[in-house]
Amino acid sequence: MPAKITKRLVDAVEPTGKEAWIADSELPGLFLRVSKTGIKTFAVQYRYGRGRAAPKRVYTIGRYPVLTVDQARTESRRILAEVRLGGDPAGDRSKQRKAITLSDLAEDWLASVKDTRKQRTEKEYRRLFEKNISPHLGNRRPSDIAVTDVTRIAKALSDKGVVPNRTLAALSTFFGWSERHGYVPESYNPASAKHAARRKEHGRERFLTTSELARLGAILAEAETLGLPWHVDEGGPNAKYLAKKDNRRTLIEPGAVLAIRLLALTGARLREILTLRWQDVDIENSRLFLRDSKTGRRTVLLPPAARELLASAMRNSEFVIPGERPDRARADLNRPWRRIRKAAALEDVRIHDLRHSFASVGASSGLGLPVIGALLGHRVSQTTAKYAHLHNDPLRQAVERIGNEIANKLDGREGDIAPLRGAR
């Protein structure tokens, strides 16, 4: 139902989960468009030509509050006046957009990525475009790029592991954005998986065993108390200048050890722990509040061991894991982790494998995959599905129990369940 579009009305409109259009009652043709997520945009609708059969056009003026209601109303009057004189502002804009090159349009797309995605995502997309895409397609119009052009790029990168897949995914995202903004025809995406096949990737799954976790724990205790031993060449020319054997140890900074323990105990992502602030730690209720994780805001529940670690940790910075400067978070754990995993004989273990190990322990303990996904902050269930084979352990125990009991009955035995003959 039409209503006068005012600042009060625009501020009061709430998203409903579906796109909504509010027509202005004073200026026919002016609309406020509210997206599913609550983005508010001013637009003008008009027919290009005479009669009801004339095609309808939509000209987007701009977003609120970058554009005020008064500015939108003024611009709407100008556009509608141009239409009355026989003009087609939306059509002219569309033609202009279709003449733009991929490199030029990619800058607009990357600017939108920077506003809506993580900074690391924008940097990675920019790197892929500048290195792999723009040198080959940068001077072409997006609407002229064919599937063969895209597959040619992927073929040229075929010896670079997962780089072809990452490049195609970035290009596909770019074309999806271009379609939504009218730069290419509807459903035009030569880089989509439907048209440009991806190479099969073999995910690397590395879970720490019980003995490996025990070994890691022992090394962490040694690293923060005695220090880790040096690895030196006793027969080297400068060996005589080395410190005595008892003094050849280096303490690992407490913050790094605390971070590694928290990663193992919570299953959190590395950046989630490194950027954690004390103000977001709720020890009393055993939880962490993550303001901006990979999947948005979420809460991490703390087991008792993690809660005790945080309760006894030093608070000499706003960050739980401070960097070299107290007012900044630690950038990474590369150096201490390399030393720790070498001392623990776990040199093939990545820091992210601590997260995998957290999930594997949960799955092997019989926890449901939805529960594990919630603890890890997975946005989609497919991400947790890779732990499904571990989740079968309780089923395996059940089938062994049932099979043993039936075998006992077949053999005429009663009472407690006995193991199958020959079972090891």
Question: Which residues, in sequence order, are bridge partners of residue 21?
Answer: 33
Helix (H) or strand (E) holding 29: none
Residue 384 predicted with pLDDT over 80 = no
| Higher local confidence (pLDDT), 189 or 419 | 189
Residue 367 predicted with pLDDT over 90 = no
- Span 326-353, mean pLDDT? 91
Q: Which amino acid is at 370?
A: P
Q: How far is CA 194 from the centre of its chain?
A: 23
Cα 236 to Cα 155: distance, rounded to the nearest angstrom: 48
Q: With both helix axes pointing from N to C terminus, report the angle between 163-180 and 102-116 in degrees, rounded to the nearest 10.
A: 90
Residue 406 has what pLDDT? 63
Residue 409 predicted with pLDDT over 70 = no
Lowest mean pLDDT among 111-115, 282-286, 360-364, 405-409: 405-409
Centre a 10 Å sphere on the Cβ of residue 262 and count the other Cβ atoms it contains. Answer: 26
- Span 330-340, mean pLDDT? 93
Domain ranges of the chain: 7-97, 102-180, 210-390, 392-424
Average pLDDT, the chain: 83
Residue 120 predicted with pLDDT over 90 = no
405 Cβ contact partners less than 8 Å away, ≥ 6 residues apart = 417
What would the CATH number be for the domain defined by 7-97?
3.30.160.390
The length of the chain is 424
- Span 257-280, mean pLDDT? 92
Name the residue among 142, 134, 141, 148 with its Cα closest to residue 177. 142
Residue 423 has what pLDDT? 41
Residue 418 has what pLDDT? 44
Fold of 210-390: hpI Integrase; Chain A (1.10.443)
Residue 93 has what pLDDT? 74
| Higher local confidence (pLDDT), 210 or 422 | 210
Q: Is there a contact between 275 and 329 (Cβ–Cβ < 8 Å)?
A: yes
Residue 114 has what pLDDT? 85
Whether the model pTM is above 0.85: no
Residue 321 has what pLDDT? 93
Which pair of structure tokens corresponds to residue 22? 């509010």
Residue 419 has what pLDDT? 46
Residue 239 predicted with pLDDT over 70 = no
Q: Which amino acid is at 220?
A: L
Asked whether the domain spanning 210-390 has the same topology as the one spanning 7-97, the reply is no
Spell out the long-range contacts of 19-23 with Cβ–Cβ below 8 A and sequence spacing 24 or more.
none
Centre a 10 Å sphere on the Cβ of residue 344 and count the other Cβ atoms it contains. Answer: 22
Of all residues in the chain, what percent carry a pLDDT higher than 70?
Answer: 82
Lowest mean pLDDT among 6-10, 104-108, 127-131, 231-235: 231-235
- Span 374-382, mean pLDDT? 70
Cα 356 to Cα 38: distance, rounded to the nearest angstrom: 36
